Structure 1
Amino acid sequence: MTATGADRDAPGALWWWGRRRSAVLDVGLALVSAAECAVEGVGFAGKAGVPEGLGALFGFLVGSVLLVRRRWPITVVLVSIAVAPAEMGFLMGIVGLYTLAASEVPRRYTAVLAGMATVAVFVVTAVEMRRDIAAQADDFDPSTWYVPVMALFMTLGLNAPPVLFGLYIGARRRLMESLRERADSLEQELSLLADRAEQRAQWARQEERRRIAREMHDVVAHRVSLMVVHAAALQAVALKDPQKAVRNAALVGDMGRQALTELREMLGVLREESVPAVSGGVPLAAVGRAAAAAAQAAASEEGPGLCALEGLCEQSRLAGAVVELVVLGESGAYPREVERTAYRVVQEALTNVHKHAPGAEVVVRLAHRGAEVAMQVENGPSDAGAADAGLPSGGNGLVGMKERVVRLGGVFVSGPTDAGGFKVSAVIPVSVPVAGDGV
């Protein structure tokens, strides 16, 4: 078989041979062809009236052309056609036609050269048969069709098999190369899919960590902030007003129990929907799907909604803050995640008021607009006489609120007001995008 372009470009290839056995095969065929042509050249020299040594040398050089059949198959076929009248180079013609048909030469060139070789062999065969018949006894008188028909059969029997076999080998080689390229392409696609699955798994893990951080911040920061405020009030009125101290102590206990309840619910979800680690042969795609499903399921877990806003504001009132709740429009059936996000935004905004603006008046506005829910928490300037509760701040409250709202396709804005206070505004669409979109 002829060497492909990939074989010729292979590292360590010898000239145009990609493998050592290909070179050995071509050298052997060239030596056999050179010996055949040298013997036939001696006979041709006798007919042409030239020295036999010159004829043998000419035949040897002509037969050696077969050495370059893989590199220049057209040259080999043309040489075999040129020396056909001299009745030499039959092996070179057969091997040359096979190599030409199996190579990457355009089919039209192969058809033209195969036709030329067929005509040349047919003419030479017909002439030799007539000469042989003429040299026989006078009683043998073949019909006019005998010589051309027999010459045609001999020509087709000599040229058709190598051409057909070469076409078959070439088609088979091209098929194998296309299958190999397709396998390489599939391997690259699988590698890309594995990388994408790993990215999805990484994204799901990061999203789950951010969700846990937001939930922990909301649960712990708000409840504990109110507990600290009530504890400070309890300390202040413990001796002056025992009854009020008892009420504050009861509020602190209720808030602590609520915080523990929410923490237990969240930890229960994490235990049930834990994300498998990328180890031990777990498929990355399965990890990504499990992580995304865990995040989506955890996001839709039961939690406080819009109906709990009045109780949330009442807790802040009991802590000494002046909180007004204004509701506009009629409430609809919202997705659980929308209600919980709206609740958490208001909760975090009130927590920031307790931390950074104790004693300030707060207005909580909630507007139902059909396709979206809008909320705004605005506080006035802090009362200069109010004592600072000394609550720590990590600076993640506003970031967490914005992440929650943007994740649902909403808009979040926060900043100081002209009156010296602070305002937090958010608009959340009622239709919740599917988790994992845009990854």
Structure 2
Amino acid sequence: MTTTGAQQEASGSTARGPLWWRRRRSAALDVGLAVASAVECALQGVGFADQAALPVPLGVLFGLAVGSVLVLRRRWPIAVVLVSIATTPAEMGFLMGLVGLYTLAASDVPRRITATLAGMALSATFIVTFVRVRQDVEAGDYSAPYVPLMAVVMSLGLTAPPVLLGLYIGARRRLMESLRERADSLEQELSLLADRAEQRAQWARQEERTRIAREMHDVVAHRVSLMVVHAAALQAVALKDPQKAVKNAALVGDMGRQALTELREMLGVLRSGESRVRARADAPPLAAVGAAAAAAAAAAAEDGPCIADIEVLVGQSRQAGMVVELAVQGDARAYPPEVEQTAYRVIQEALTNVHKHAAGAKVMVRLAHRDEEVAMQVENGAPDAAGGAADAGLPSGGNGLVGMRERVTALGGVFVSGPTDAGGFRVSAVLPDRAEVSLR
């Protein structure tokens, strides 16, 4: 009987037997059956030698040789069945015939071969039984139907049970192998899903770190930039105009308090997102990661600034000495929270860049409410070297434009930035009215 790869893997934990046996216990079973069959055939060989007028030792040796063939039942089941059929006229090898038919039916031999050999064994047993019973009938007083009836009963009794049992065991074995293979494949799929869940979790953590860094940059950079500008102006006018210095100092304090307030709000959102992640700790990995990311994004969007705050934002830059003009086109309406927050952050970061890199330049802020989108543009002229704030020494991390582009493209919008012909700089963004956040 052939051995499949699944069977070999299943028996890997058991000591492998000699020759063609997969396990030592199987080899011991076959050797024991062969010894029992050899003893049976040797005893039956005595009667065969008497009938064939042969020396008794020769009949015993013949029986031993025939019975020992059963040891090959797993390797060559067809040969064992053929030998048992060939020795049926000699009335020996009943155990070999039963075990051989069972092994043949339970093996992977094609069913047509099994059916053919089972039919041959049935026919041989029927013929031998019919002849032997007829001889006994002639010597005794039996009715005529007794001969064929006994022949049918004996032939079916010695052939049908082992074949049916072998078919059942073979089907059950194949079913178990199929279930084992399916279990292995499911285990591999679960392993792949676990790896993907881990990748998704790593991606979610990376995205969360990026979002936190972006929020920190937007909140801190703009407020601190205005504070530095006011501090520089305060230093310049402290001795000349004490009244203006007091006003600038008050503005610096207001900016600091606003920065602290926004930082507290952002930390509150992060803590809220963390508690929601704990609440979903018992959920499946992929669902927990997706729900946590969505919850954190939604909480951040709902608690963030909106388009209505842009006028206040522009006013703060005016208080810092920047010449800013705000132009609004179209009728204002409500947008999704993530759209309003992104529009606010783009204008905020663009104004922060003007404070850093173009102190004293005039700025034009345009906001357009269109049918299915909202557009914004921040354009500044050439920087004024005598603006007074150029010496503030504001650092730049180089992440402002990158962060704006990431925010806009994540909502399916368009972002364009670059220098103008007049020596200034322009930042433009268009956001869809009903943006769909892209999840990787």
Secondary structure of the residue aligned to 1:264 is: helix
**Counterpart residue type for residue 24 of structure 1:** A
Secondary structure of the residue aligned to 1:433 is: coil
| Counterpart position of 1:237 | 237
The question of 1:195 aligning with 2:195 is answered yes
CA–CA distance in structure 1, aligned partners of residues 387 and 24 of structure 2: 94
CA–CA distance in structure 2, aligned partners of residues 427 and 215 of structure 1: 20
CA–CA distance in structure 2, aligned partners of residues 6 and 26 of structure 1: 22
Q: CA shift at 1:151, angstroms?
A: 0.6
Q: CA shift at 1:347, angstroms?
A: 0.4
| Counterpart position of 2:309 | 308
Alpha carbons 1:97, 1:163 under 8 Å: kept: yes
| Counterpart position of 1:414 | 417
CA–CA distance in structure 2, aligned partners of residues 58 and 287 of structure 1: 74
Alpha carbons 1:204, 1:295 under 8 Å: kept: no
Q: CA shift at 1:287, angstroms?
A: 5.2
Q: CA shift at 1:105, angstroms?
A: 2.0
CA–CA distance in structure 2, aligned partners of residues 102 and 160 of structure 1: 13
CA–CA distance in structure 2, aligned partners of residues 68 and 130 of structure 1: 35
CA RMSD of superposed structures (Å): 2.5
Alpha carbons 1:332, 1:370 under 8 Å: kept: no
Secondary structure of the residue aligned to 2:415 is: strand
The question of 1:403 aligning with 2:418 is answered no
CA–CA distance in structure 2, aligned partners of residues 320 and 301 of structure 1: 32
* Deviation by residue 1:43-93 (Cα, 9 ceiling, x = unmatched): 333333444333332322221111111122122112211221222211111
- Check 1:82–1:91 CA distance in 2 against 1; reply closer, same or farther (3 A cut): same
Q: CA shift at 1:343, angstroms?
A: 0.5
Alpha carbons 1:222, 1:351 under 8 Å: kept: yes
Q: CA shift at 1:294, angstroms?
A: 4.0
| Counterpart position of 2:33 | 29
CA–CA distance in structure 1, aligned partners of residues 136 and 5 of structure 2: 47
Alpha carbons 2:377, 2:429 under 8 Å: kept: yes
| Counterpart position of 1:270 | 270
Alpha carbons 2:269, 2:296 under 8 Å: kept: no
Alpha carbons 1:38, 1:58 under 8 Å: kept: yes
Q: Which runs of 5+ in 1 are unaligned?
A: none
Alpha carbons 1:80, 1:92 under 8 Å: kept: yes
| Counterpart position of 1:365 | 366
Q: CA shift at 1:228, angstroms?
A: 0.9
Alpha carbons 1:198, 1:288 under 8 Å: kept: no
Alpha carbons 2:412, 2:437 under 8 Å: kept: no
- Check 1:188–1:8 CA distance in 2 against 1; reply closer, same or farther (3 A cut): closer
Mapping of 1:221-232 within 5 angstroms?
221-232=221-232
Give the stretch that moved more between structures: 42-51 or 417-426: 42-51
| Counterpart position of 1:343 | 344
Give the stretch that moved more between structures: 353-362 or 280-289: 280-289
CA–CA distance in structure 1, aligned partners of residues 154 and 112 of structure 2: 24
| Counterpart position of 1:105 | 109
The question of 1:77 aligning with 2:81 is answered yes
**Counterpart residue type for residue 432 of structure 2:** P
| Counterpart position of 2:164 | 164
CA–CA distance in structure 1, aligned partners of residues 8 and 51 of structure 2: 43
Mapping of 1:201-212 within 5 angstroms?
201-212=201-212
CA–CA distance in structure 2, aligned partners of residues 245 and 141 of structure 1: 137
Aligned length, in residue pairs: 431
* Deviation by residue 1:192-224 (Cα, 9 ceiling, x = unmatched): 232222222222222221111111111110011
Alpha carbons 2:314, 2:324 under 8 Å: kept: yes
Mapping of 1:112-261 within 5 angstroms?
112-134=116-138, 136-137=139-140, 140=141, 142-143=143-144, 145-261=145-261
Alpha carbons 1:3, 1:17 under 8 Å: kept: no
CA–CA distance in structure 1, aligned partners of residues 167 and 271 of structure 2: 65
Secondary structure of the residue aligned to 1:373 is: strand
Identity of aligned residues (%): 73
* Deviation by residue 1:343-387 (Cα, 9 ceiling, x = unmatched): 001100110111011112222222222222222212222123334
**Counterpart residue type for residue 218 of structure 1:** D
Q: CA shift at 1:301, angstroms?
A: 2.8
Alpha carbons 1:41, 1:52 under 8 Å: kept: yes
Alpha carbons 1:8, 1:17 under 8 Å: kept: no
Alpha carbons 1:377, 1:423 under 8 Å: kept: yes
Q: Which runs of 5+ in 2 are unaligned?
A: none
- Check 1:246–1:6 CA distance in 2 against 1; reply closer, same or farther (3 A cut): closer
CA–CA distance in structure 1, aligned partners of residues 35 and 129 of structure 2: 25
CA–CA distance in structure 1, aligned partners of residues 53 and 172 of structure 2: 48
CA–CA distance in structure 1, aligned partners of residues 64 and 273 of structure 2: 82
TM-score, scaled relative to structure 2: 0.90
CA–CA distance in structure 2, aligned partners of residues 374 and 320 of structure 1: 26
Q: CA shift at 1:226, angstroms?
A: 0.7
CA–CA distance in structure 2, aligned partners of residues 6 and 198 of structure 1: 30
Alpha carbons 2:301, 2:341 under 8 Å: kept: no
**Counterpart residue type for residue 132 of structure 1:** D
Alpha carbons 1:77, 1:97 under 8 Å: kept: yes
| Counterpart position of 2:97 | 93
| Counterpart position of 2:65 | 61
Give the stretch that moved more between structures: 372-381 or 259-268: 372-381
The question of 1:18 aligning with 2:36 is answered no
Alpha carbons 2:269, 2:300 under 8 Å: kept: no
Alpha carbons 1:2, 1:102 under 8 Å: kept: no
TM-score, scaled relative to structure 1: 0.90
* Deviation by residue 1:109-156 (Cα, 9 ceiling, x = unmatched): 22222111111111111011112222x15xx2522x321111101111
Alpha carbons 1:99, 1:166 under 8 Å: kept: yes
- Check 1:188–1:130 CA distance in 2 against 1; reply closer, same or farther (3 A cut): same
**Counterpart residue type for residue 92 of structure 1:** M
| Counterpart position of 1:431 | 434
CA–CA distance in structure 2, aligned partners of residues 379 and 8 of structure 1: 75
Alpha carbons 1:7, 1:13 under 8 Å: kept: no
* Deviation by residue 1:15-36 (Cα, 9 ceiling, x = unmatched): 2222221111100111111222
Secondary structure of the residue aligned to 2:303 is: coil
- Check 1:338–1:381 CA distance in 2 against 1; reply closer, same or farther (3 A cut): same
CA–CA distance in structure 1, aligned partners of residues 412 and 295 of structure 2: 20
Alpha carbons 2:41, 2:63 under 8 Å: kept: yes
CA–CA distance in structure 2, aligned partners of residues 220 and 434 of structure 1: 25
| Counterpart position of 1:328 | 329
